[in-house]
Amino acid sequence: MAISSTMTVTTNNWLVIFFIGITVVVAISPTSSPHPHKRITTKLINETCQQSQFVETCIDGLSSSIKSNTTEMMTLIEIAVEVALNKADKVANHITHLLEKSHYPDMEQCLSDCSESYEDVIAQLNDCDGEIDFESDGPSQTKTEVIEFIDAALSDVTTCENGCKSDAENGDILTSQNDEVRRYCTIVKDIVNLNP
């Protein structure tokens, strides 16, 4: 009987040690795939963003993608467009929310115009995304088209901003959002211009 209880205690001790060991290994082991919100900054992102007008914004935006561990410039351009598109979508949703809630009845025309402008921004960025494969039409033709789409998107953001400035009290209602979209569109253009 004494041997049996000693074996039970020894077995229980080994089980406890085993489970503690497994817990520690799991806790310190790296995950097999990066968490989508984990910042991964590669050499390509760092080198590319150093040549952008908005270095930190570029690094933060591109590093936030699950595809950010790329070594391909085309993928980096795709990421930049996706980030700009995501920011534009958020602004469009914010404008819709402001229009629905009628927080700013005096700004209804401005917000309505901005809603249309952001539909165009999103369309331009989607068109840009479809043109990224530089090899299909030849690099210079596609690069020119992508830059034209980005310039059109930037123009639409400026149209929204200028349309709201006439209201002295709430004219800056979308300024910070417009500035953010403008920065990310400019980053796309900066990266595309780095591509030969």
Judged by average pLDDT, the poorest of 12-16, 18-22, 189-193 is 18-22
Tokens of 188: 């796309």
Residue pair 68/75 in contact (Cβ under 8 Å)? The answer is no
pLDDT score of 11 = 53
Yes or no: domain 43-194 corresponds to CATH 1.20.140.40: yes
What confidence tier does 8 reach under pLDDT thresholds 50, 70, 90? low
Helix (H) / strand (E) element for 35: namely none
pLDDT per residue over 130-176, tens digit each? 777 655 555 566 788 889 999 999 999 999 999 888 776 777 889 99
Mean pLDDT, to the nearest integer, of 177-181? 96
Mean pLDDT, to the nearest integer, of 1-24? 50
pLDDT score of 34 = 39
What span, in angstroms and rounded, lies between the C-alpha atoms of 32 and 88? 31
pLDDT per residue over 119-131, tens digit each? 999 999 999 877 7
Provide the mean pLDDT of the chain.
Answer: 79
Tokens 């349309």 identify what position? 163
Q: Which of 41, 37, 21, 17 is nearest to 29 (CA)?
A: 21
Q: Which value, in Å, is the radius of gyration of the alpha carbons in the chain?
A: 25
Q: Which pTM does this prediction carry?
A: 0.74
CA diameter of the chain: 92
Mean pLDDT, to the nearest integer, of 16-34? 41
- Phi/psi-derived region of residue 193, left when phi > 0, alpha when psi is between -120 and 50, beta in every other case: alpha
Residue pair 70/191 in contact (Cβ under 8 Å)? The answer is no
Task: Write down the number of H helices and E strands in the chain.
Answer: 8, 0
Mean pLDDT, to the nearest integer, of 43-71? 91
Interacting residues of 131 by C-beta distance below 8 A, sequence separation 6+? 142, 145, 146, 149
For residue 51, pLDDT over 60 is answered with: yes
Domain borders along the chain are 1-30, 43-194
